[in-house]
């Protein structure tokens, strides 16, 4: 099942994607796609609905972030060995964790804004985990029970803020629009999370071409691991790292200046398209 949110920013309605690719309006069934509606029981009830009984959303409607009211937006760094190599960093023995601000979340086709003082705004295609059930001190075996599904994330980053300004990586990860999510939240039963192709293009040039096969720490372990340090709540998002091909890894490095078009795709999870412009 593919869940979606559609409509103007701040006024999105919940929807699902039918077998013909139409958005069906779920607002008569649930108020939103958020932590209160993506638990196991809620998803089971939605799965037996007949989409044909739901109205079709207007053609060309804006797609919002696929989950609302995210309390924790957590990221895993250096989770692909080949990306760690291009970054000149050691493969971590445990997951590297940092926060992205929930306020940076936008829709999958919304503009990405370059901060006024930015010198090194970069792109990162990533699979994001969406939590469906409260997770605290869960085992790796039980961790999948706490996952509602997965979505595409462009973990937009400002590398000079992240690596050259001291402190943690957080300051380079949470600027406005640095967290496009969606287009869909795809429930876990439809996703082979360990075998998804991932691509990102800038102005039509393929710059990232990877697969979740090379992920160091897998989704169940990530949920288990993070739950040892904090409580994950329904609706929380964990973005799980990027394969090689980020701008920082080019020789010489390449960064976003404004005017570019980014396309971000993950097999089975959909495609994002963003125009880049100055804030």
Spatial contact of 255 and 119, defined as CB atoms under 8 Å apart: yes
- Write out pLDDT tens, residues 140-185: 999 999 999 999 999 999 999 998 998 888 999 999 999 999 999 9
Beta strand 270-278 with 112-114 is parallel
Co-location of 30 and 118 in the same domain: no
Co-location of 141 and 19 in the same domain: no
Co-location of 44 and 81 in the same domain: no
Residue 23 lies in a domain: yes
Co-location of 77 and 38 in the same domain: no
Classify 50 as helix, strand or coil.
Answer: coil
Cα distances from 274 to residues 41, 90, 198, 206, 269, in angstroms, run 34, 31, 16, 15, 16
112 sits in which H/E element: strand 112-114
Domain count, the chain: 2
Co-location of 182 and 109 in the same domain: yes
Q: Determine the structural domain holding residue 79 and report its residue range.
A: 73-278
pLDDT at residue 88, rounded to an integer: 78
Residue 255 lies in a domain: yes
Co-location of 34 and 132 in the same domain: no
Co-location of 147 and 178 in the same domain: yes
45 sits in which H/E element: helix 40-47
- pLDDT over 90 at 90, yes or no: no
- Write out pLDDT tens, residues 181-201: 999 999 999 999 999 999 999
Co-location of 124 and 185 in the same domain: yes
Q: Which residues make beta-bridge pairs with 1?
A: none
Residue 180 exposure: Cα atoms within 13 Å on the Cβ side: 28
Co-location of 23 and 138 in the same domain: no
What token pair was written down for 67? 């989950």
pLDDT at residue 104, rounded to an integer: 98
What mean pLDDT comes out for the span 204-225? 97
Q: Which band of pLDDT confidence, cut at 50, 70 and 90, is reported for residue 130? A: very high
State the pTM of this model. Answer: 0.97
- Domain of 82, CATH number, reads 3.90.850.10
The C-alpha atoms of residue 75 and residue 171 are separated, in whole angstroms, by 13
> For 54-57, which contacts have Cβ atoms below 8 Å and span 24 or more sequence positions?
54/16, 54/24, 54/25, 54/26, 54/28, 54/29, 55/24, 55/25, 56/22, 56/23, 56/24, 56/25, 57/6, 57/13, 57/15, 57/22, 57/23, 57/24, 57/25
DSSP for residue 56? B
């Amino acid at each position: 099942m593919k869940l979606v949110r559609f409509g103007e920013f701040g006024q999105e309605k919940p929807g699902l994607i039918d077998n013909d690719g139409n958005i069906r309006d779920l607002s008569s069934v649930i108020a939103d796609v958020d932590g209160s509606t993506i638990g196991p029981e809620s998803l089971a009830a939605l799965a037996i609905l007949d989409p044909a009984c739901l109205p079709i959303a207007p053609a060309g409607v804006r797609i919002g972030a696929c989950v609302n009211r995210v309390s924790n937006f957590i990221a895993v760094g250096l989770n692909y060995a080949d990306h760690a190599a291009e970054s000149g960093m050691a493969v971590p023995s445990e997951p590297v964790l940092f926060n992205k601000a929930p306020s940076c979340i936008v829709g999958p086709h919304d503009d990405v804004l370059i901060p006024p003082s930015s010198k090194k705004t970069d792109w990162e295609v990533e699979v994001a985990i969406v939590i469906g059930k409260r997770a605290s001190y869960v085992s790796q075996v039980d961790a999948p029970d706490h996952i509602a599904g997965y979505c595409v994330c462009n973990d937009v980053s400002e590398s000079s803020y992240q690596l050259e300004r001291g402190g943690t990586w957080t300051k380079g990860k949470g600027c406005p629009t640095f967290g496009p999510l969606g287009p869909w939240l795809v429930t876990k039963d439809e996703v082979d999370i360990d075998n998804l192709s991932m691509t990102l293009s800038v102005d039509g040039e393929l710059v990232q071409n990877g697969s979740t096969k090379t992920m160091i720490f897998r989704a169940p372990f990530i949920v288990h691991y993070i739950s040892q340090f904090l409580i994950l709540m329904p609706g929380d998002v964990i973005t799980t790292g990027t394969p090689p091909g980020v701008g920082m890894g080019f020789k010489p490095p390449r960064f976003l200046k404004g005017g570019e078009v980014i396309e971000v795709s993950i097999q089975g999870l959909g495609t994002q398209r963003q125009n880049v412009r100055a804030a």
